[in-house]
Amino acid sequence: MGGKKRPTVSALEKRATKEETTKKKEESKKPQMKLEASTGNLTEVSLEQIIKELKGLRYITPYVLASRFSIKLSRAKKTLKELEQRGLVVAVDRNSKVPIYVPASRKK
């Protein structure tokens, strides 16, 4: 009969501030990758961001790349092959399923 009671003013303020902080966190967590919608190719700007990020990693697998930049696994494999051709990463171990790469700066 009484129904649900209305929250107090302070409870509403707390809820509003909490929602604002979560929105800000979500916006900052989103990677800044730009994919071309028609082809799915990474732009040169996004490749530069990937290169910067990969220099700090100890090892690189397609799964690490795909999960970190939220791209498809097949695209991550192609990207790693392209980076290997450029000489930015070196293949340490090649398996039929999971190739493992290391940044060229760490290999030296």
What does pLDDT average to over the chain? 82
Of 103, 33, 30, 107, the closest CA to residue 61 belongs to 103
**Alpha-carbon dihedral angle through residues 32, 82, 43, 63, given to the nearest 10 degrees:** -30
Q: Furthest-apart CA pair in the chain: how many Å? A: 75
**Long-range contacts from 36-44, C-beta under 8 angstroms, 24+ separation:** 40/72, 40/75, 42/71, 42/75, 42/79
CATH of the domain at 42: 1.10.10.10
| Lowest mean pLDDT across 28-37, 42-51, 92-101 | 28-37
Q: How many domains does the chain have?
A: 1
48 occurs within a structural domain: yes
Question: Which residues, including other chains, have CB under 8 Å from residue 47's CB and lie 6 or more apart?
Answer: 79
Does residue 5 sit within a domain? no
Residue 12 placed within a domain:
no
pTM beyond cutoff 0.75: no
Give the pLDDT confidence of 38-89 residue by residue, as tens digits: 445 667 777 888 888 888 889 999 999 888 888 889 888 998 998 999 898 9
**65 domain residue, yes or no:** yes
Residue 36 structure tokens: 């071309």
The CB density around residue 54, as the number of other CB atoms within 10 Å, is: 24
The predicted model gives 97-103 an average pLDDT of 91
The rounded radius of gyration (Å) of the Cα atoms in the chain is: 21
